[in-house]
């Protein structure tokens, strides 16, 4: 009888260790997913001043649009540094909107549209935007897996004992979820 108790106890300990290691893996997957977004945000952060400087040479009357992009870039950087997912989602929406308006306005400037550096930067930033969207989806999936794992029984017992925390989803601004009015973008 004593051997059975020791075997059961050993199985419980092995299961608890396995569960703990699983929670550590899930938590680190969230950190990795955020690091992937962070790299892309930094790359885009570095490209935006080049785009704005290129546009300034041609778009003398569009300073408010250029300033909106610069301000949105700053808000994204602040939210990124503080890991504030709510603020980051809102700042990302404002930056996307500003970039959309900037690219739409560029259509009115034939010399700018023909500028090789502008075309390269526009293509590079558009590619980064697509990659960021993909990474945001992966991040949210990783967060969801983590949050479910630490809330389900028996994982919740191990999670509470070792202070595993839930992560916030990277939410989209309401403006990003509605249909885009292309005609309105060209009026700006």
Which residue ranges make up each domain of the chain?
2-187
Helix (H) and strand (E) counts in the chain: 8, 0
pLDDT value for 174? 56
Contact 149, 22 (CB under 8 A): yes
Residues near 46 by beta carbon (within 8 Å), at least 6 away in sequence: none
The conformational region for residue 105 under phi > 0 = left, psi -120 to 50 = alpha, else beta, is alpha
Residues sharing a CB contact under 8 Å with residue 170, sequence separation 6 or more, in sequence order? 37, 85, 88, 89, 136, 139, 140, 143
The residue assigned the tokens 């549209």 is 113
Phi and psi dihedrals of 154, rounded to 5?
-95, 0
Among 66, 68, 95, residue whose Cα is nearest residue 80: 95
Q: Calculate the alpha carbon distances from 182 to 95, 103, 172, 186 in Å.
A: 17, 12, 20, 7
Asked, as a colleague might, if the bond just before 154 is cis with ω within 30 of 0, I would say yes
55 φ, ψ to 5°?
A: -70, -35
Q: What is the pLDDT of residue 156?
A: 94
Instruction: Say if CB 42 and CB 135 are below 8 A apart.
Output: no
Which pLDDT does position 175 carry in this prediction? Answer: 54
Please count the other Cβ atoms lying within 10 Å of the Cβ belonging to residue 6: 9
- The CATH class, in words, for 2-187 is mainly alpha
Upper half-sphere CA count for residue 48 (Cβ side, 13 Å): 25
Q: And the tokens for 28?
A: 């680190």
The single-letter DSSP state of residue 173 is P
Q: For the packed helices 85-106 and 116-151, what is the interaxial angle rounded to 10 degrees? A: 160
Instruction: List the chain pLDDT tens, one digit each, 188 residues.
Output: 789 999 999 999 999 999 999 999 999 999 999 999 989 999 999 999 888 888 888 777 778 888 888 899 999 999 888 888 888 888 888 888 888 888 888 888 888 888 888 889 899 999 999 999 899 999 999 999 999 999 999 999 999 999 999 999 888 665 554 444 444 444 44
Per-residue pLDDT at 188: 43
């Amino acid at each position: 009888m004593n051997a059975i108790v020791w075997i059961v106890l050993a199985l419980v300990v092995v299961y608890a260790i396995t569960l703990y290691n699983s929670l550590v893996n899930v938590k680190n997957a969230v950190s990795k997913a955020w690091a992937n977004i962070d790299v892309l945000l930094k790359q885009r952060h570095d490209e935006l001043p080049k785009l704005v400087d290129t546009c300034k040479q041609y778009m003398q009357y569009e300073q408010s649009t250029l300033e909106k992009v610069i301000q949105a870039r700053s808000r994204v950087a602040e939210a990124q540094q503080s890991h504030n997912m709510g603020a980051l989602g809102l700042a990302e929406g404002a930056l996307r909107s500003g970039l959309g308006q900037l690219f739409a306005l560029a259509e009115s400037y034939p010399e700018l549209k023909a500028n090789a550096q502008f075309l390269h930067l526009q293509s590079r930033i558009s590619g980064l935007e697509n990659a960021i969207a993909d990474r945001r989806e992966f991040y949210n999936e990783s967060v969801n897996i983590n949050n479910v794992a630490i809330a389900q029984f028996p994982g919740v017992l191990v999670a509470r004992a070792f202070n595993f925390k839930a992560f916030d989803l990277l939410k989209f601004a309401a403006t990003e979820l509605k249909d885009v009015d292309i005609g309105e973008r060209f009026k700006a």
